[in-house]
């Protein structure tokens, strides 16, 4: 599958099969995060792979009761380990770095026939307590990972001409 095909065919999956994920597939998804670019190549990140069912259920509760995530055999939690650093452009480095790495994981998961769903709705403190994440570390994104048990339709996207302009902002 080429990259654009993976991008075009990826969907947020909210219904998962209980089928376990092969370790080599899981490792390829994590490898995609490891290979992601980061500001100054600092790679100030940690990816927690949650397989334990009881912990998955607790995470689902901390994610505003989005219980579907507990049905996936794995939940990935993407953490920024140096959240204080701000780039010259004014953006926090860790939010950008972790978003890139998470996006790479979503696409590699698609390549492997696995489903994901980026979660931004979660109680960070609750998640940190459940997983023993140190106070100074920030949780940027969470996604379930597993074989899809649904094939959602494509969600609408704005037209290219509505979001792209040339030479100056219009």
Ligand X SMILES: Cc1cc2nc3c(=O)[nH]c(=O)nc-3n(C[C@H](O)[C@H](O)[C@H](O)COP(=O)(O)O)c2cc1C
Nearest distance, CB of residue 152 and ligand X, angstroms: 6
C-alpha separations of 40 from 9, 12, 21, 85, 97 in Å: 31, 31, 33, 11, 10
Closer residue to ligand X in complex, CB, 163/166: 163
Q: Which helix (H) or strand (E) holds 160?
A: helix 160-163
Question: In the complex, which residues of this chain contact ligand X (CB under 6 A)?
Answer: 11-12, 14, 66, 117-121, 152, 155
Between residues 85 and 99, which has the closer beta carbon with respect to ligand X? 99
143 forms beta bridges with 76
Q: Which is nearer to ligand X, 44 or 102 (CB)?
A: 102
Q: How far is the CB of 12 from ligand X (least distance, A)?
A: 4
Which H/E stretch holds residue 85?
Answer: none
* Cβ atoms of 31 and 105 closer than 8 Å: no
- Tokens representing 98? 């972790």
CA distance 138 to 81: 7
Least Å distance, CB 13 to ligand X, is 8
The residue at minimum Cβ distance from ligand X is 120
Distance of closest approach, residue 167 Cβ to ligand X, in angstroms = 29
Nearer of residues 160 and 170 to ligand X, judged by Cβ: 160
């Amino acid at each position: 599958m080429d990259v654009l095909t993976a991008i075009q065919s990826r969907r947020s999956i909210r219904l998962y099969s209980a089928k376990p994920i092969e370790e080599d597939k899981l490792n390829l998804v994590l490898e995609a995060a490891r290979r992601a670019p980061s500001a100054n190549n600092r790679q100030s990140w940690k990816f927690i792979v949650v397989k334990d069912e009881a912990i998955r259920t607790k995470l689902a509760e901390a994610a505003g009761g989005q219980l579907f995530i507990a049905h996936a055999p794995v939940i990935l939690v993407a953490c920024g380990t140096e959240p204080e650093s701000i780039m010259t452009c004014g953006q926090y480095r860790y939010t950008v770095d972790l978003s890139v790495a998470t996006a790479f994981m979503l696409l590699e998961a698609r390549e492997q026939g696995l489903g994901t769903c980026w979660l931004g709705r979660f109680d960070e403190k609750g998640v940190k307590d459940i997983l023993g994440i140190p106070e100074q570390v920030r949780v940027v994104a969470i996604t379930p990972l597993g074989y899809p048990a649904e094939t959602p339709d494509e969600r609408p996207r704005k037209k290219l001409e509505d979001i792209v302009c040339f030479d100056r902002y219009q």
